[in-house]
Amino acid sequence: MTSSRITVSGIPVQIDRKPIKNLHVGVYPPDGKVRLAVPLKTTDDAARLAVVSRLGWIKRHQKNFQEQPRQSEREMVNGESHYVFGRRHLLEVIERYGRHELEIGPSDKLKLYVRPGTGTEGRKRALQRWHRELLAARIPALIAKWGPKLRVKVADWGVRRMKTKWGSCSIEARRIWLNSELAKAPEECLEYVVVHEMVHLLERNHTAKFRKLLFDHLSDWELRRHTLESVYLSQPGQTELQRWA
């Protein structure tokens, strides 16, 4: 892969040349960075034309990112707001000796039990581990539900923290990965990402066929994606446009 940069109407664009067939334009959080993935032989002029033809789309999504309120950096202190599967909870930190644990208590309090003296980073690690546990308890059932419907088999799956994606798929290994941040979103959003990645086992790229498969099996997937990118998430997923070809 090779990379270069151009500027179109004052917008910096990163061009990544890859061994792919179709052109992809992506607008990425948090500040609306534009990245263009193109076939290896695509010239800068052709790439520039592709961006120009999508300027309206790009600017709309950049504006959405700029206007989207973000959760401030979490300090992991009493009274702080945290989301669990789309529901808002106020954090209550309880110091005690023993294993770090979290639970949803009375009045929807998110109770975090930590050892005395545990700092912000230690509290964050406990929360992230709990997020992974919550997702791990739900993902197998979703894969079991959608495997027969899509007629695909997932060989393996995992949960990890990702910077720019909600999920990823290794087609050769038939393995899917889910972003641990999905534990903050409504469960229908988790289902959308699982189905999205499983459809990649049928169609590698975001082609018209890929979109049709999504529509056929999950007709409201666009609404679920919009919900996923809503304001209570600190890190929305990328917004991607595929040139249908």
Q: Indicate left, alpha or beta for 22 from its phi (over 0: left) and psi (-120 to 50: alpha).
A: beta
For the stretch 65-97, pLDDT in tens is 666 555 556 789 999 999 999 888 999 999 999
pLDDT for res 239: 39
Query: Which residue type, as a one-letter code, is found at position 81?
Result: S
Average pLDDT, the chain: 87
Please tell me the distance from the alpha carbon of residue 27 to that of residue 91, in angstroms, as a whole number. Answer: 33
Which residue ranges make up each domain of the chain?
A: 2-67, 139-242
Per-position DSSP letters for 82-113, written without gaps between them: EEETTEEEEEEEEE-SS--EEEE-GGGEEEEE
Predicted TM-score of the model (pTM): 0.69
CATH class (in words) of the domain with range 139-242: alpha beta
Please tell me the distance from the alpha carbon of residue 91 to that of residue 79, in angstroms, as a whole number. Answer: 5
Sequence-distant (6+) residues with CB within 8 A of 151 are none
